[in-house]
């Protein structure tokens, strides 16, 4: 679940370039820095769009921070895209790889929708181009019968193409990108003359993402690896930053659903401690067995959102700490019996050391629902 929709909007989720249209327009008005060919903003303005302006007004607008805790990585990613190597954002699930790739494409090319979603069923036609069969049968292969895919369009427009979950595709499909990244040319052998060879315009490049819990990047060919710069997104380790992000995103999700309530700081603080201790498998000086399910910031946002939504729709008053545990079951533990046991070990430890603290005592009451 993501938070990218506005209250009252007629769609569930807007692409980043529409959601943040005011900020992008303000940055374009403010920007006088050197800009790589084909880019809509300078690298400096792209950095500000993603990491925020720290309260400073630029072009009449304060720019909100969108990615937390990976500042140096974000800077390197921008520099990579200004060159002729593609970018691969790798990392654990829920570390904002897709979000960063969307924000980069929105800021650099003004469009984040030239996207391929990688899966075992991704086929060549879905990436490069396909044909309108009615026109093909009538006139043969002509430019009018060609239906450009995201790669064709990105090369033609000089824009960024996003390739989500690239390592879930068969290696032969991934390797289609090698000649494109090396020679910046896409051949269309069916067309004769003009159109048979598409040379990319300045600004074209590739941002791929790969989830380290999936098949991983090991199966990627070394030829493709050499044409990509790798960046690994880290989960947020700073509890203060994570708390700020989780409460902001949960509040945004609630507002988007028309729910007029915001999470209390105490509740968010408790949730973040819970997540950080479970994620680090370390609490009160004791090493714990780590959970196998993912405990990313995205899951923390979902737990908080679910607890708040439940009390809004079904409860009578703001949610208490017990509700956090109730929703941890469905959003994080799922059907993993071993994780349930590991969580039980953690809660036993908490019970023996923190039962003097009313907030933790209240949280433990939720164990009955797990």
Ligand X SMILES: Nc1ncnc2c1ncn2[C@@H]1O[C@H](COP(=O)(O)OP(=O)(O)OP(=O)(O)O)[C@@H](O)[C@H]1O
Binding site for ligand X (CB under 6 A): 2-3, 67-70, 91, 93-99, 209, 211, 236, 245, 249, 297-298, 301
Contact 13, 23 (CB under 8 A): no
Minimum CB–partner distance for residue 14 and ligand X (Å)? 13
Q: Give me the residues that bind Mg ion (CB under 5 A), please.
A: 98
> Which one of ligand X, Mg ion, none interacts with residue 167, CB within 5 to 8 A by kind?
none
Dist CA 330 CA 336 (whole Å): 10
Closest to ligand X by CB, 309 vs 347, is: 309
What are the angstrom distances between the C-alpha of 18 and each of 5, 80, 237, 273, 316? 10, 25, 30, 34, 36
Minimum CB–partner distance for residue 224 and ligand X (Å)? 19
Q: Report the DSSP pairing between strands 228-233 and 205-211.
A: unpaired
Minimum CB–partner distance for residue 143 and ligand X (Å)? 36
Closest to ligand X by CB, 5 vs 157, is: 5
> Which one of Mg ion, ligand X, none interacts with residue 272, CB within 5 to 8 A by kind?
none
> Which one of ligand X, Mg ion, none interacts with residue 109, CB within 5 to 8 A by kind?
none
Cα dihedral 198→199→205→207 (10° resolution) = 20
Closest to ligand X by CB, 50 vs 155, is: 50
Contact 160, 114 (CB under 8 A): yes
> Which one of ligand X, Mg ion, none interacts with residue 366, CB within 5 to 8 A by kind?
none
Minimum CB–partner distance for residue 299 and ligand X (Å)? 9
Minimum CB–partner distance for residue 81 and Mg ion (Å)? 18
SS3 (DSSP) at 252: helix
> Which one of Mg ion, ligand X, none interacts with residue 247, CB within 5 to 8 A by kind?
none
Q: DSSP letters of 296-365?
A: -HHHHHHHHHHHHHHHHHTSSSS--HHHHHHHHIIIIITT-HHHHHHHHHHHHHHHHHHTTSHHHHHHHG
Minimum CB–partner distance for residue 319 and Mg ion (Å)? 28
Q: Which residue lies nearest Mg ion, judged by its C-beta?
A: 98
Closest to ligand X by CB, 100 vs 114, is: 100
Q: Give buried/exposed letters for 69-91 (b at 16+ CB in 10 A, else e).
A: bbeebbeebbebbbeeebbbbbb
Closest to ligand X by CB, 241 vs 281, is: 241
What are the angstrom distances between the C-alpha of 163 and each of 83, 101, 113, 238? 18, 9, 10, 29
Closest to ligand X by CB, 96 vs 155, is: 96
Minimum CB–partner distance for residue 239 and ligand X (Å)? 13
Closest to ligand X by CB, 93 vs 269, is: 93
């Amino acid at each position: 679940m993501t938070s990218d929709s506005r209250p009252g909007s007629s769609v569930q989720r807007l692409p980043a370039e529409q959601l943040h249209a005011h900020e992008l327009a303000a940055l374009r008005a403010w920007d006088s820095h050197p800009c790589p060919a084909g880019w809509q903003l300078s690298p400096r303005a792209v950095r500000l769009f993603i990491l925020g302006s720290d309260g400073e007004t630029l072009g009449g607008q304060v720019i909100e921070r969108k990615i937390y805790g990976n500042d140096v990585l974000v800077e390197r990613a921008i520099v990579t895209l200004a060159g002729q190597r593609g970018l691969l954002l790798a990392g654990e699930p829920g570390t904002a790889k897709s979000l960063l790739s969307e924000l980069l494409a929105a800021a650099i090319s003004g469009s984040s929708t030239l996207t391929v979603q990688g899966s075992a069923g991704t086929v060549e036609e879905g990436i490069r181009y396909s044909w309108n069969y009615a026109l093909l049968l009538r006139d043969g292969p002509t430019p009018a019968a060609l239906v450009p895919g995201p790669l064709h369009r990105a090369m033609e427009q000089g824009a960024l193409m996003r390739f989500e979950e690239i390592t879930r595709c068969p290696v032969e499909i991934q390797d289609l990108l090698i000649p494109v990244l090396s020679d910046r040319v896409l051949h269309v052998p069916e067309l004769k003359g003009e159109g048979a060879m598409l040379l990319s315009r300045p600004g074209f490049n590739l941002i791929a993402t790969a989830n380290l819990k999936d098949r991983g990047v090991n199966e990627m060919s070394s030829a493709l690896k050499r044409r990509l710069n790798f960046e690994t997104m880290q989960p947020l380790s700073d509890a203060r930053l994570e708390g700020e992000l989780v409460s902001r995103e949960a509040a945004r999700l609630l507002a988007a659903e028309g729910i007029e309530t915001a999470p209390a700081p105490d509740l968010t603080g408790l949730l973040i401690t819970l997540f950080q201790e479970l994620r680090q498998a370390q609490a009160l000086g004791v090493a714990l067995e780590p959970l196998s399910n993912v405990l990313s910031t995205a899951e923390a946002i979902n737990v908080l959102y679910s607890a708040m939504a439940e009390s809004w729709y079904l409860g009578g008053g703001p949610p208490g700490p017990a509700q956090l545990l109730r929703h941890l079951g469905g959003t994080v533990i799922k059907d993993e019996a071993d994780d349930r046991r590991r969580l039980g070990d953690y809660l036993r430890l908490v019970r023996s050391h923190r039962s003097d603290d009313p907030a933790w005592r209240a949280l433990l009451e939720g164990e009955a629902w797990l």
